[in-house]
Structure 1
Amino acid sequence: MSDPILSLNNVHTDIAQYHILQGVDLEVPKGQVTMLLGRNGVGKTTTLKTIMGQWTCKSGEISFDGQDMTQMAVSARARAGIGFVPEDMGIFADLTVEENMVLGATSGPMDPKRKEWLLNAFPALGTFWTSEAGNLSGGQKQMLSIARAMAEDRTLYLIDEPTKGLAPAIVSTMAQALRELKAQGASILLVEQNFSVAKALGDTAAVMDEGRVIWTGAMADLATDKDLQERLMGLSMEAH
């Protein structure tokens, strides 16, 4: 396993009166795809939002690329090289696809070669480049959300359930784009309920339950061990 680009050490997060994260320990190796798995409601989305700074870490430490960013502002984390794709997509419906992409390139104009790669990866975005994002289909909006996070080169991408509710053809397009992103040297922390996608993309995996990481290891080991899947998540990947 390579050195971690991101480390969480005993991270606790409260939301209102609820103690959601109860001592999360997690490492994301450089240049790899780490799958964050577990049943609904165990803290996966809260973990991503805590890493991004949208929820405040009550105690513990978050380290990114060797720097303590536990108390860093959201904008500073983005400038440091973290891209975030939320589950709700977070696109600007009244802006065009192009305008959404321009907002994603926070450090300046989008590199023409990167724009070309993204439009090759997500051809529908080129077709609707000047259309308002609110007029896109659900799958096209999800493509835009991911492409916007990729509008400039980032060190780490946090992606929350990108294939949820999407048609197989669109899932395949997204998976290929994420493979290409990894090939460029990016590190990815991916929450995903589609186990076929998790098996295809994941290098390592971390399984959460009740606000903690209860297992870490190679994604391939988890994908081939039905008993382990049942014990950790109460279900078999084979059935999904």
Structure 2
Amino acid sequence: MSNSLLSLKDVHANIHQYNILHGVNLEVPKGEVTMLLGRNGAGKTTTLRTIMGLWQAHAGTIELAGMDVTRQPTAQIAKQGVGYVPEDMGIFSDLTVEENMRLAAVSAPLSQERMDRIFLAFPPLKTFWHSAAGNLSGGQKQMLSIARAMAEERQLYLIDEPTKGLAPAIINTMAAALSELKAKGATILMVEQNFEVAKYLGDHCAVMEDGKIIWTGPMNELAQDNELQERLMGLNMEAS
């Protein structure tokens, strides 16, 4: 894919003695949202962690904007403009919301313009700006986790299950904020179990099974094909 910002070619990765990724091939187009879907244990989170350098690929290549980052350390990958929102949120509970945000802005101080944009997306963060992050609700902590990735311009966002365990109202807020990020031309690779959110945000889709990509295509193609959903992911729903 000529406009790919991120490219994985035959990527294998082990966790301890277990081989989790068995030759992942994936293209993430620039300026669009790619959903990484699949059953639990398919290797989705491991894929994101391997891209971020938290797990080392033992075979294959990972290229970011044409540069081989397969062996680069996590800090170096982050410096190249990759924002990572882990499934466990990765916030500092003992620090305030403000301190969490300022720590995330490593390239330049957090500007008022950027703070205003984040507050517009996530109003509770303004309310609890001086509060300890550990005192936030689950949904507010997830807002902070995503806001940290938005603390400075990124060329790529890796987001792992941002709506997991959240109430419907918070999911709507989260989806709206990510939609706004998408509208500004962000490139996003996102793991998401909520198929409605995936349909709403996704431009492209890759489905994983047993550590491999087994299907890729437009998100709307999968969204409109119930038989394909059930075959690939065991879903049984009426597509809208």
Q: TM-score, with normalisation over the residues of structure 2?
A: 0.98
Query: Quick one: distance in 1 between partners of 2:33 and 2:55?
Result: 23
What letter matches 2:49 in structure 1? K
Partner of 1:31: 31
How far apart are residue 238 of structure 1 and its match?
Answer: 3.5
Alignment partner, residue 228 of structure 2:
228
Cα deviation for residue 80 of structure 1 reads 0.2
The residue type paired with residue 179 of structure 1 is S
Whole-angstrom distance in 1 between the partners of 2:217 and 2:6: 16
How far is the alpha carbon of 1:210 from its aligned partner? Answer: 0.2
Q: What's the counterpart of residue 191 of structure 2? A: 191
Greater shift after overlay, 175-184 or 116-125? 175-184
How far off its partner does 1:148 sit?
A: 0.5
Amino acid aligned to 2:169: A
Distance, in Å, in 2 between the alignment partners of 1:28 and 1:99 is 32
Deviation sequence 1:113-149 (CA, Å, 0-9, x none): 1110001100000000000000000000000000011
| Matching residue of 1:181 | 181
207-216 or 173-182, larger mean C-alpha shift = 173-182
Alpha carbons of 1:165 and 1:2: their partners in 2 closer, same or farther (altered >3 Å)? farther
Structure 2 counterpart of 1:104: 104
Aligned to 2:76: 76
Does the 8 Å contact 1:44/1:191 carry over to 2?
yes
- Supply the RMSD in Å over aligned alpha carbons: 1.3
| Correspondence 1:60 to 2:60 | yes
Q: Which ranges of structure 1 fall in alignment gaps of 5 or more residues? A: none
Match runs of 1:70-219 below 5 Å: 70-219=70-219
Instruction: Tell me the distance in 1 between the aligned counterparts of 2:238 and 2:149.
Output: 31
Task: Report sequence identity in percent.
Answer: 67
- In 1, the alpha carbon distance for the partners of 2:31 and 2:237 equals 25
Q: Which runs of 5+ in 2 are unaligned?
A: none
Deviation at 1:111, TM superposition (A): 2.0
2: CA distance, partners of 1:184 / 1:116 = 15
| Residues 1:46 and 2:29 are matched in the alignment | no
Alignment correspondent of 2:7: 7
Q: Is the 8 A contact 1:111 1:152 kept in 2?
A: no
1:162 match: secondary structure:
coil
- 1:100 and 1:236 mapped to 2: Cα distance? 40
Shift of 1:53: 0.2
Alignment partner of 2:89: what SS? Answer: coil
Q: Which amino acid aligns with 1:69?
A: V
How many corresponding residue pairs?
A: 240
Query: How far apart in 2 are the matches of 1:139 and 1:10?
Result: 36
Paired with 2:238 and 2:54, the residues of 1 have a C-alpha distance of 34
Distance in 2 (CA, whole Å) between partners of 1:182 and 1:199 is 14
Runs of 4+ in 1 over 2 A off after TM superposition: 236-239
SS in 1 for 2:61: strand
